[in-house]
Chain A
Amino acid sequence: MKVLGLVLAGGRGANLRPFTDIRASAALPIFGKYRAIDFTLSNMVNAGISKVGIITQYSPRSLMDHIGSGKEWDLDRKQGGLFFLQPFFRLSSETIGYKGTADAIFQNMTILKRGNEDFVLIGSGDHIYKMDFQRLFRAHINNGADITVLTIPFSKSSKEVISCNAGRVTGWYKDTKSFDINEEELRESAGVYFINKFLLRELLFSCVPEGKDNLVEVISANLSSLKVMEYRFEGFWRNLTADVAIYFKTNLDILNHKIREELFYKHGKIYTKLKDLPPPKVTTTGRVTNALVSDGSIISGSVINSVVFKNVRILAGAVIENSIIMEDCVIEEGARLENVIMDKNSRIRSGRKLSGSPENPAVVEKSGVI
């Protein structure tokens, strides 16, 4: 089975300012050395997908810098490989850009027309999870489905609610306020769709010109005519763009042994851009407990319950607790941080104190100095 991967990575991530002021949400740093998109991209590559289109729109520079030629994912290929699908000017339209996820694929119809793939797997660059997509492919075939949607357990705050009957998707709702359905039948969409390529083309040609710009609209308009099935995912799944508190909490979740096991060691590896930095170093004054530390970092202070990204310097006497310290940060002597997210390349002057709360972490912006 040949599958084309499409990653939706154009999101603005407005709830995650200031981190998304300078980067697309799919390029959000996570777990010490990764970017959000690494998870979906690695899941696809681990499932044997060798042709991937990445649909970008908002602020793609850091995302493109991260992915480059796709070499780390073995996507620098002569056949297939990696395609960046960026918005462009069209003669037929005054506006530039994609109006929605379906419109984005519609405007890049060439990638669906070319190539010998039979199926398309559509995922989002903002979601953190690890799964074996091969199982989803098999379920799709066994169910004789037209479209398979990945679903996660339903929650009250969900904005992508799906009602199901014996595995078949029967309804798609923006929230649960307006109706009354047995909650046992409700699931939440994880934003992953598996669909026959030719069917997708037909759906896009028939729906997008009518003004249905999002995939959800396209699919939910055809629930009665098509066999749309759900595939249940019960593992660790997070949408990073929900809000800053969830972004903060998700980053710290990796200190849990079970979550590390699931995300890093099950169903293949997570690939990311390599930088060839030397191994992390803890000096004679350093103390590290319950923390994740990446290459190139030198720890001379204390690090407790925290995630330390690459090439960070934590100088003697500094105390870091419950914090996320991104790449190239420097924390000078005697500084104290608690519940802080430091964006890349920022610096805390010696003796300064900064603290937030788990629900409302203090934020140091990129290249900021405090």
Chain B
Amino acid sequence: MTKNVVAMILAGGQGTRLGLLTDEIAKPAVPFGGKYRIIDFTLSNCVNSDIFNVGILTQYRPHALSKHIGIGRHWDLDRKDGGVVMLPPFQGRSDADWYSGTANAVYQNIDFIDSFNPEIVLVLSGDHIYAMDYNEIIDFHFSKIADGTIACMRVPMSEASRFGLMIANFEGRIMEFQEKPQQPKSNLASLGIYVFNWSFLKVKLIEDARDPNSAHDFGKNIIPRIISDNSGQLYAFNFEGYWRDVGTLQAYWESNLELTRPVPGLNLHEPTWRFYTHTEEYPPAYFSPEAKIRSSLISEGCEVYGTVENSLLFQGVHIGEGSIIRDSVVMTNCIIGEHCTIEKAIISERTIIGNSVQLGFGEEKPNKVSPEIYNGGLVIVGSDVKIPDNVLVGKNTAIWNHVGEKQFEGEVPSGEILYPEER
């Protein structure tokens, strides 16, 4: 049955609320959980659901993503029949251009989908962390004889206005749809996972493409229009497993640290639902006689000589003697010197921190430039940063990618953003 399913993964978004983490890479390529990247979860869900025809729609800074996925061999997607295809925007005879919205991205690749002659198209987002067997939603879709099915989850009413909301009848048929409303009428939130009959969706995409007033977006245009025209039957599939949108730095930080809890919501150890990724080969993690580790994930290739509490270290991280890492996420190949204190920080890849550096120091003050992005008392350090010895960095701060040693003058007070020279 799954032979005639095509999965289209939307991976073109920048994810601006992740601040400097997505300055150089697309959000689906942002590292997560010690060795993965965000898109690994959606891709692994596809493979574990026996869906092997996968298109990845890329647009914003796709290089890291393309390199990560390659020919899909780490997901067993290097296949003779089907497999994974990267679908960047392209120049066609006429109407092709940059992808102007999620629906437009799928619309421009109608030929690609048609080549499989599928019965079902699964529209997925490469931005979310979740474990889901798509066969369940597809079975539900067939059982309702639906034209489209949207995966939904109950969310706290206070957060409902951040989501696209469904108002469904007793059967699960969607009667009304609200996209990020001020006054939510429901708390049944769309997870950005859509199942459509291809023949139905194709017509809707072509109609939408002809509408000059449309933003060509699934949540804003396609779904509301189907409901308002009553031109198809849409059903809400209630998903009860683990699902997170790591759209903000705060949510990203929390979801990562959640993995260090005794029984996390997302079980990375489940042998029947493994998450695959493309990583470098590293030797096992080494813990020195002085190391004190508590409630943490320490990935392979790490060498820990200091104290790590309630934190997540990615592969190849080196923590010097006497350093204390608390409530932090430290990404691949970072080197942290001796006698540092690092609290509530996200440190991006390949950053080198000297001795006696303190991150997360002093009073909390709102960020001066982008308080909506850099908040929650977090310290965000970019990739390839070099922090010299004895530097103090305050809270709600950001140190941009590639900031060099010379740009530090003793202290970065709370609420500051430090940019590299050539910017």
Tell whether B111 is near chain A: CB-to-CB under 8 Å. no
| Shortest beta-carbon distance from B410 to chain A in Å | 33
**Cβ contact of A279, chosen from B34, B74, B274, B276, cutoff 8 A:** B34
* B288 contacts across to A, CB distance below 8 A: 289-290
Q: Report yes or no: A282 in contact with B300, Cβ–Cβ below 8 A.
A: no
Tell whether A31 is near chain B: CB-to-CB under 8 Å. yes
Given A278-B275, A280-B297, A281-B296, CB of A289 within 8 Å of CB of B283 = no
* A293 contacts across to B, CB distance below 8 A: 284-285, 287, 298
CB closest chain-B residue, reference A276: B276
Question: In residues 29-45 of chain A, which contact B (Cβ within 8 Å)?
Answer: 31-33
| Shortest beta-carbon distance from A10 to chain B in Å | 26
Q: Report yes or no: B294 in contact with A284, Cβ–Cβ below 8 A.
A: yes
CB closest chain-B residue, reference A271: B281
Q: Report yes or no: B296 in contact with A282, Cβ–Cβ below 8 A.
A: yes
**Cβ contact of B295, chosen from A72, A264, A280, A284, cutoff 8 A:** A284
Tell whether B35 is near chain A: CB-to-CB under 8 Å. yes
Q: Report yes or no: A279 in contact with B287, Cβ–Cβ below 8 A.
A: no
* A282 contacts across to B, CB distance below 8 A: 293-298
* B123 contacts across to A, CB distance below 8 A: none
Q: Report yes or no: B289 in contact with A289, Cβ–Cβ below 8 A.
A: yes
Tell whether A283 is near chain B: CB-to-CB under 8 Å. yes
Given A260-B283, A283-B295, A293-B284, CB of A276 within 8 Å of CB of B289 = no
* B290 contacts across to A, CB distance below 8 A: 289
Question: In residues 282-305 of chain A, which contact B (Cβ within 8 Å)?
Answer: 282-284, 286-296, 298, 303
CB closest chain-A residue, reference B293: A282
* B312 contacts across to A, CB distance below 8 A: 279
Q: Report yes or no: B283 in contact with A281, Cβ–Cβ below 8 A.
A: no
Q: Report yes or no: B287 in contact with A294, Cβ–Cβ below 8 A.
A: no
* B286 contacts across to A, CB distance below 8 A: 255, 260, 291-292
Tell whether B406 is near chain A: CB-to-CB under 8 Å. no
CB closest chain-A residue, reference B310: A284
CB closest chain-B residue, reference A278: B268
| Shortest beta-carbon distance from B288 to chain A in Å | 6
Tell whether B164 is near chain A: CB-to-CB under 8 Å. no
* B35 contacts across to A, CB distance below 8 A: 278-279
Q: Give the complex CA separation of A279 and B308 in angstroms.
A: 15
Most interface-central of A281, A289, A307 (chain B CB within 10 A): A281
* B279 contacts across to A, CB distance below 8 A: 274
Tell whether B197 is near chain A: CB-to-CB under 8 Å. no
Tell whether B277 is near chain A: CB-to-CB under 8 Å. yes
**Cβ contact of B283, chosen from A33, A71, A280, A284, cutoff 8 A:** A33
Q: Report yes or no: A288 in contact with B293, Cβ–Cβ below 8 A.
A: yes
Q: Give the complex CA separation of A280 and B287 in angstroms.
A: 12
Q: Report yes or no: A280 in contact with B298, Cβ–Cβ below 8 A.
A: yes
Q: Report yes or no: A291 in contact with B295, Cβ–Cβ below 8 A.
A: no
CB closest chain-A residue, reference B268: A278
* A255 contacts across to B, CB distance below 8 A: 286
**Interface footprint category on A:** 35 or more
CB closest chain-B residue, reference A34: B283
Tell whether B337 is near chain A: CB-to-CB under 8 Å. no
Tell whether B93 is near chain A: CB-to-CB under 8 Å. no
| Shortest beta-carbon distance from A206 to chain B in Å | 42
Q: Report yes or no: B284 in contact with A32, Cβ–Cβ below 8 A.
A: yes
CB closest chain-B residue, reference A32: B284
Tell whether B210 is near chain A: CB-to-CB under 8 Å. no
Tell whether B355 is near chain A: CB-to-CB under 8 Å. no
Q: Report yes or no: A280 in contact with B269, Cβ–Cβ below 8 A.
A: no
Q: Give the complex CA separation of A32 and B291 in angstroms.
A: 19
Q: Give the complex CA separation of A211 and B348 in angstroms.
A: 63
Q: Give the complex CA separation of A277 and B271 in angstroms.
A: 9
Tell whether B388 is near chain A: CB-to-CB under 8 Å. no
Q: Give the complex CA separation of A31 and B289 in angstroms.
A: 18
Tell whether A50 is near chain B: CB-to-CB under 8 Å. no
CB closest chain-A residue, reference B300: A295
Q: Report yes or no: B284 in contact with A33, Cβ–Cβ below 8 A.
A: yes
Q: Report yes or no: B287 in contact with A289, Cβ–Cβ below 8 A.
A: yes
Question: In residues 238-280 of chain B, which contact A (Cβ within 8 Å)?
Answer: 259-260, 262, 268-269, 274-277, 279-280
Tell whether A151 is near chain B: CB-to-CB under 8 Å. no
| Shortest beta-carbon distance from B88 to chain A in Å | 27
Q: Report yes or no: A283 in contact with B262, Cβ–Cβ below 8 A.
A: yes
Question: In residues 1-55 of chain B, which contact A (Cβ within 8 Å)?
Answer: 33-35
Q: Report yes or no: B281 in contact with A286, Cβ–Cβ below 8 A.
A: no
Q: Give the complex CA separation of A312 and B259 in angstroms.
A: 18
Tell whether A270 is near chain B: CB-to-CB under 8 Å. yes
Q: Report yes or no: A32 in contact with B287, Cβ–Cβ below 8 A.
A: no
Q: Give the complex CA separation of A248 and B144 in angstroms.
A: 61
Tell whether A269 is near chain B: CB-to-CB under 8 Å. yes
Q: Report yes or no: B297 in contact with A281, Cβ–Cβ below 8 A.
A: yes
* A101 contacts across to B, CB distance below 8 A: none
**Cβ contact of B299, chosen from A280, A284, A290, cutoff 8 A:** A280
Q: Give the complex CA separation of A255 and B262 in angstroms.
A: 27
CB closest chain-B residue, reference A294: B284
| Shortest beta-carbon distance from A126 to chain B in Å | 20
Q: Report yes or no: A279 in contact with B298, Cβ–Cβ below 8 A.
A: yes
Contact digits for A16-29, partner B, Cβ 8 Å, 1 yes 0 no? 00000000000000
CB closest chain-A residue, reference B40: A276
| Shortest beta-carbon distance from A327 to chain B in Å | 12
CB closest chain-B residue, reference A295: B300
Q: Report yes or no: A279 in contact with B283, Cβ–Cβ below 8 A.
A: no
Given A288-B287, A291-B287, A292-B285, CB of A278 within 8 Å of CB of B294 = no
Q: Report yes or no: A264 in contact with B283, Cβ–Cβ below 8 A.
A: yes
* B34 contacts across to A, CB distance below 8 A: 278-279
Q: Give the complex CA separation of A286 and B281 in angstroms.
A: 26
Given A284-B262, A293-B284, A293-B287, CB of A278 within 8 Å of CB of B293 = no
Q: Report yes or no: B281 in contact with A280, Cβ–Cβ below 8 A.
A: no
Tell whether A124 is near chain B: CB-to-CB under 8 Å. no
Q: Report yes or no: A280 in contact with B285, Cβ–Cβ below 8 A.
A: yes
Given A279-B299, A295-B300, CB of A31 within 8 Å of CB of B284 = yes
| Shortest beta-carbon distance from A175 to chain B in Å | 36
* B296 contacts across to A, CB distance below 8 A: 281-282
| Shortest beta-carbon distance from B60 to chain A in Å | 27
Tell whether A339 is near chain B: CB-to-CB under 8 Å. no
* A31 contacts across to B, CB distance below 8 A: 283-284
Tell whether A346 is near chain B: CB-to-CB under 8 Å. no
Those 4 A-B pairs whose CB atoms lie nearest each other, nearest first = A278-B268, A279-B34, A32-B284, A279-B299
List the interface of chain A (C-beta within 8 A of B): 31-33, 71-72, 255, 260, 264, 269-272, 274, 276-284, 286-296, 298, 303, 307-308
Show 14 A/B contacts (Cβ-Cβ < 8 Å), sorted by A.
Answer: A31-B284, A260-B286, A269-B280, A277-B274, A279-B35, A281-B259, A284-B262, A287-B293, A289-B288, A292-B286, A294-B284, A294-B285, A295-B284, A307-B284
